[in-house]
A and B are shown apart, each in its own frame.
Chain A
Amino acid sequence: MSVRVNLLPAEVDARARASRMRAGAGLAGVGLLAALGVVFVWENGRVNDVKAELAAEEQELAALQAEVQEFADYAELDRRAGDSGEILASALASDVSFAGLLQDVAAVTPEDVEYTSMTISLTEPIASLGDVRPAFGELTLVGYALDHAPGVERLLIELDKVAAFGDLFFATGFDDEFGDITFTVTADLGPEVFTNRYVDGLPEALR
C-alpha cells in the first residue's frame, strides 16, 4: 500500500483551481454568447422569411389591383347604374296614380250620385286626430245626391271600402232649385295611394 504525498505548496493548488474555474467561466460565457448569437441569427431568419412572405403577398395584391383597374370602365358603369336607380327611387318616391284614384272613385260611386267637382291634393304626411295612420293628402268630392239616405249615406259607405280613403267626413245642404241634396265629402289619402313602382329604381316595365 502506497501513500501519495502532495509536496506542492497549497497556494499552487489554489491558483490551479482558480485558473480552471476562470477557464470554465470563460468557456461558459463564450457558450452563452454563441447560443445567443444562434438565437439572434435564427430570429433574423424568421424576420426575413415573413418579409419575403409579405413581399409575395403584396406582389399578388398588386397584380389583383391591376386586374381590378382593367375593369375600371365596368366599375364606372356599375356606379352609373346604381346612381340612376337611386335617382329614380328618391325623386319618384311619392309617385301616386291619379288615374287609379279616379278609377277607385268611379268604381264605388252609387248611380244616384253626381259630382260637380273633385279635388285631390297631396301633402307631407299629417297625423290625423284619432287616426292611427298618417294622411298623405285629401280627396274632396262635391256633388248632388237625391237624398241624404241612401244617397249620401251609400256614397260614404262605398268610399270607405277603398283602402286608400280614410277618415271620411261630409257636409250636406238642400238645393231649393232642384230639390237635391248637395254634399261635400272629404277623405284622407292613406299610404296605399303610392304606387311604389320606383322603389327599386327602374320599374319592371322598363327593364
Chain B
Amino acid sequence: MNRQTLLLSVLGAVLVLVAFYIFLFQPKQDEIATVRDEIDTTVTLQAAARNEIQRLQTVRANAPRLESQITSAQAVVPTSNALPGTLRALQMAADDSGVILTSVAPGRPELVEGATVDGLSRLALSVGFRGSYFQMVDFLRRIEDPAITARGIVWDTGSLTKDEADYPQLVGTVGGSMFAVLEELPNVADADPTPAPTDGETPADGESEAAEEAS
C-alpha cells in the first residue's frame, strides 16, 4: 500500500463523511427543525385555544346579561319593521306630553349602503304634531330617551311654526330615519314609494296590532 493508495483512502473517507452529512445527517436535522416549528405552532394554537376557552367561559358566565342586551338592542334596531310598536311609542309619547300627533309617515325600508351588517335597512319617518313649545320639547325627549322609547330614531330635519289659528299652539314636524335589520327586503318595485301620512289621532290604544306588539 503506497502513499497514493493511502491518500485515496483518506479521500474516500472524506467523501463518505460528506455524503453522510448531505444525504443522511442534514435531512434529519431539517426534519427535526420542521417538526420543532410544527410544535411551536401547535403550542401557539394551544395558547390561543386556552384564551378562547377562558373568554368563552366568561361569556357563559355573562350569558343572561348578553341575551338581555341583545334583546334590548333589538328593541332599538329591530329585526322587522316593527311599525305597530313604533306607532304605539309615538302615541304614548304624545299622550304623556300633551301634544296632538297629527301625522306619522314611515317610508319603506331601504338597504343602508356600506353597512357592516347584512340587512341593515333605513326607514324614513316623518312625524307631525301640535302643542305648546315645552310640550313639544317633552314629546321629543320622550321619543329620544332610549329608556322611554326604545326604538332608535335619528332626526335630521325639524321645524316649528306658529299655529296662526290657535296661538300659542305650535305646529311641528320632524323627519328622520329609523333602522331595522331585515333578512329580506320586501319587493317594493310595485309599491307606492310615498305612503300617505296616517292620522296620528286615529290609532286608538286598543288597536290590535299595536297592542300585540306592545305586549
A residues lining the B interface (CB < 8 Å)? 18, 21-22, 25, 28-29, 32-33, 36, 39-40, 43-44, 46-47, 50-51, 53-54, 57-58, 60-61, 64-65, 67-68, 71, 74-75, 77-78, 80-81, 83-88, 90-92, 94-99, 102-103, 106, 115-122, 137, 195, 197-198, 201-203, 205-207
Contacts and interface: CB of A to CB of B under 8 A. Distances in A.
B87 interface: no
For A43, A53, A87, the residue with the greatest tally of chain B CB atoms inside 10 Å of its CB is: A87
A90 B115 contact: yes
A-B pairs, top 9 by smallest CB distance, nearest first, are A84-B73, A99-B140, A71-B56, A64-B49, A99-B141, A205-B147, A43-B28, A91-B179, A206-B72
Nearest to B45: A61
Nearest to B57: A71
A51 B181 contact: no
Interface residues of B, number: 75
A195 B140 CA distance: 14
Interface string B129-150: 0000110111111001111001
B117 to A, nearest CB: 5
A75 B25 CA distance: 47
A115 B25 CA distance: 94
A206 B66 CA distance: 12
Nearest to B152: A92
B6 A25 contact: yes
A201 B73 contact: yes
B1 A21 contact: yes
Interface stretch (B100-108, B157-165, B192-200, B206-214): B157-165
A32 B16 contact: yes
B140 A64 contact: no
Contacts of B138: 99
B1 A61 contact: no
A202 B162 contact: no
A18 B5 CA distance: 11
Interface of B: 1, 6, 9, 12-13, 16-17, 20, 24-25, 28-29, 31-32, 35-36, 38-39, 42-43, 45-46, 49-50, 52-53, 55-57, 59-60, 63, 65-67, 69-70, 72-77, 112, 115-117, 120, 122, 133-134, 136-141, 144-147, 150, 152, 154-162, 174, 179, 181
A204 to B, nearest CB: 9
Contact of A78 (B17, B66, B162): B66
27 contacts: A39-B25, A43-B28, A47-B32, A57-B42, A74-B56, A74-B60, A77-B63, A80-B70, A81-B70, A87-B120, A87-B179, A87-B181, A88-B76, A90-B120, A91-B77, A91-B112, A92-B76, A92-B152, A94-B154, A95-B144, A102-B133, A102-B140, A120-B157, A122-B156, A197-B146, A198-B152, A203-B146
A86 B112 CA distance: 14
Nearest to B24: A40
